[in-house]
Every structure is written in C-alpha cells, then in structure tokens.
Structure 1
C-alpha cells in the first residue's frame, strides 16, 4: 500500500491558498519527496507524516519554484533527530544547486548523497529504518526511473515502481523439500546455503505479482518518449500550467503544457488516472477547464493542495 499527498499545486510563485508544486509519497512509513519549492515545509507539517523518515528527495529541475525550500527543509530534518544518510536525486547540475542552497546549513547531523541521474534506473530497498540504495536488482523492492524532458533548463521526469512480493507457495516449498526453517528467508528473496545445499527464492515463490507504478512529469512540453515512460501507470501526475488550449503559444514559449496535452499523454500511456497540477498563478480556478482534459481522458482530476491518494495492490 502506498499513500501519496499533493503538497502544493502551483508553478512560478505561491499564492495564499496554494503552495508550490510538490508531492510526498509514503510507503511503509518511509517518505519520498518530489520537488521542494517555497512552502513545502508548511505543507508537509499539515500532513502529520513527519520529517525524520524522509529518505529521498527527487528534484525535477533547478528553478526556484522547485528548489528554494530545500535548505530550510534539510535543517528541519536535522532537528528531527535524523542521522541516516539522505539521498537527493536530480538532473545534471543538481549537486551545485544543492550545495549552493545549503550553504546556510554549515552542519547537518546526517550525510547527503547527491545523485545526478538522467535516463537511468536506480534500485532501492525499503525497510523499517530507511530507504537505501540497492545494488542487487533482485533484492530491491522499489525502483526509480528518470526521463530527460524538454524545458528551459535540465529537467527530468520520474517513474516510481513499488514491487509486490511474489506469493509464497507452500506446495512448491514441500515439492522442493525445503526445510521449514528456511521458508521465511527464501520468502524475503534471500538465497540460503544450508547443510551444503543451496536454496533459491524461486523454489518457494509463485510468479511475481504486479506492483504500483506512479509517474511524475512537470515543466516540459510533450515529448515522444513520455507515453512509453509512463505506460500503464496506476497514477500519472502531470503539469497542467495552462487550462485552455488558446494558451498553446504561451505553453510552447515557456516549455509547459495545456490540460488537453497532459490528458493526451495519459491516454497514450494507458494510465489508470491523471492528476493535473503545477498550475499557472493566473489560473484562478483550474476546475473551470477540467473538461478540456476529461474530454480526452475521462479519469482526470484537478489537484488541490493536500489531496491524498491511497494506492493498493491488486491481485
């Protein structure tokens, strides 16, 4: 089960009733934050999910409406008592951005692991203590992929895949003469050597079950690679800076999207649901233009600050 909260929904500048575009993912009590503009800390506090268990911060690009909240947030995380390493992922150049912003924090009680990542997949293992990098793909239970986008600076989109454990098969375990003492380790995807015999997880597990896929695309024009990147997403979160198609020239000039363009991507990517976010401050009520998306992709909704979704695994 994965919980998700849209913390903020604006691009450019915060308003009284909307913070900057950012999203928080909660999986097994551990947290992943996407973007960190002004107001992110306040929005996170409203969720009540805490700061100490935030393990990964994914930055789409360097613009201030996606990054200037970082130094304050990193300081607050330090004050929460965190000592485990925290990973920050972003496009090429993100190391300089983070170090520059973080100059006001001369000391943090935890290490920052900054990863510059484009067109790559990173594997992680989620446990009770943190989400840590995992070199062994077979032992990871969460993977993150990125895609280079089309904006006025280096910008990447993200796709998160939360794996589901393969179902344990008592029949297979008995058929393969697996000692009961080993069942739990094998079920947790560990290979075990016992009494000079080697036992593998596949000897007790059925086929892998479908996990949960969340894709996040913002600050870009539609590109030919996006539909395949977001393909079969359970949830597709996409920018909708402009609600009306008459603003297409502005969208092209500023490297953003209209509602209808985002909906077209969701349809082409065979996504289950689309959440529109990252609205222009000039868009006083995005709901007035929702029909421009639903006419193309019916399961489109407008994000409000604090919108929470609960995604469950299905057989």
Structure 2
C-alpha cells in the first residue's frame, strides 16, 4: 500500500520562518488523516487547495495550541459554510474531548450550542496500547513534554506502512521504539545547539541517530536557530507543502 505524506504545516509554535503550525496529512487508499492540527492549519490547507472536509480522521499527539487549536475552527466551518456530511473521528491522548471543549470555549465562546449534523467521534488512546482507529493501528508512547498536555509520540500502521512521529518532547527510552523499522520517522528538531527543556534538539538527534532504525528520517518543528543552520544538517528537513511518498 502506498502512502502519501504532505507537510501542510512544518513550523514551531511561533511561526518561525513564516511557517504554519504542525499539520501532517497522510493519504492511503480509502482514508485521509491528519497528524496534529495546529491553530493555523485551516489557512495552510486552503493555501494548498485541500478541503478540510476531505479529512476522515485527526490524530493528536498532545493538547497544545500549535498541535490542536485549529480543531474548533474546523468544526465550526464544518457546521456552517462547509456543511460537512461525512463522519469525522478525532483521536488523541486522555482528556482529549474535554480539553478540546475548553479550547473551543476559550477561542469561540458560545460555540457549544452548535451541534454537528455529521457523525463526530472522539477516541482517547492509552499509551503502550495499540488502538484500531478507522482501519489504522495506532500505538501512542509517552513523551517528555509539558505534562499538562498529556504528551505522546505516535506509531501508526497504515496497512503495512509505518509512520512514526515524536510529537514534541525530549528523547526517552521509547524514542527508538517509535522509529524501529518505520518507513518514515518524523522527528521534532527544535534547536540546533541550544538545549531546550521538553523538546528534541539536534545535538541529541546527531549523537543518537544510530538508534533510530527507520528507513527515512525527516526533521520538523524547526525553530529560528535550527532554520539558520539547516544547511549544516545532513538529515532531510520538512518544509510547508513538502510531499513524501512511501
């Protein structure tokens, strides 16, 4: 089975380099899903000419604005102008539904009275367990990031193709497990030299690259320092709109 991976947004939380926030779109036969959906994701999708109503599933690594805050706007437009009819599933870590409701109420007060006319399903995934979600097999691993976000990395089996994503978080004993045998490993790489707590930075990736046994490695979530030094890095770095087929 072929999978097409589009980096709709490859930036950090602050739009460094003019990049959109995290949104990684994956197409496999019969299913289109997004990994994370940051606050700028609707703009990024529109720029690429991709209708958000074409997405069947959103998988969330954690509940931070640059990874999940585009969902209230997506749902609002789905119920208003876009008039979505097809089902949508949103799967993430524990408390995903409640935390997204809090985000909705903070960003769009009064939206709680709107009720979707399309099937909307929330799934909350425990770590270290494989969950069957819309025909995918998704295994979340705990991530070393802000604990209040219930952070995870995801290993996704798409009909035999394995896509792994660290989400945000420093190296853990589970990082090599995410990468092991993956067709594509998407790895946060926030800073080039400066150590930043709760994030994976290039010195760690460089020193432990041999432990990442993935067929392809792509670095994303690049901050200003990393963007300025990306020409020094042999690994492939993501750009908004970049497409990879596996």
Task: Summarize the alignment of residues 260-271 of structure 1 with structure 2, pairs less than 5 Å apart.
Answer: 260-263=203-206, 267-271=210-214
Pairing 1:224–2:233 present? no
TM-score for both structures, normalised by structure 2: 0.86
Q: 2:54 maps to which residue?
A: 53
| 1:265–1:88 Cα change, 3 Å | farther
> Residues 284, 231 of structure 1: CA spacing in aligned structure 2 closer, same or farther, 3 A cutoff?
closer
- Equivalent residue, structure 2, for 1:256: 199
* 1:169-189 per-position Cα deviation (integer Å, ceiling 9, x unaligned): xxxxxxxxxxxxxxxxxxxxx
Aligned pair count reads 235
In structure 2, which of residues 188, 207, 222 is the aligned counterpart of residue 279 of structure 1? 222
| Structure 2 contact 140–154 (Cα < 8 Å) conserved | yes
Task: Tell me the TM-score normalized by structure 1.
Answer: 0.68
Distance 1:87 1:286 in 2: 38
2:242 alignment counterpart: 307
The root-mean-square deviation of aligned C-alpha atoms, in Å, is: 2.1
Measured after TM superposition, the shift of residue 63 of structure 1 is 1.5
Select 1:99's aligned residue among 89, 98, 101: 101
User: Quick one: which of 135, 145, 161 aligns to 2:139?
Assistant: 145
Check conservation: 2:77, 2:83, Cα contact below 8 A: no
The answer as to whether partners of 2:89 and 2:122 remain within 8 angstroms in 1 is yes
Aligned to 2:87: 85
Any gaps of 5 or more consecutive residues in structure 1?
125-131, 133-139, 164-210, 295-299
Match of 1:201 in 2: none
Residue number in structure 1 paired with 2:151 = 155
Larger radius of gyration: 1
List gaps (5 residues or longer) in structure 2.
none
Report the CA distance between 1:69 and its aligned residue.
1.3
- CA shift, 1:15, in A, is 4.3
User: Relative to structure 1, is the Cα distance of residues 284 and 264 closer, same or farther in structure 2, using a 3 angstrom cutoff?
Assistant: closer
Structure 1 pair 9–286 and aligned structure 2 pair: CA distance change class (3 A):
farther
1:266-297 deviation per Cα after TM superposition (whole angstroms, max 9, x unaligned): 5313111111011224544342341xxx3xxx
Q: Is the 8 A contact 1:14 1:38 kept in 2?
A: no
After TM superposition, give the deviation of residue 66 of structure 1 in Å: 1.4
d(CA) in 1 for partners of 2:206, 2:76: 38
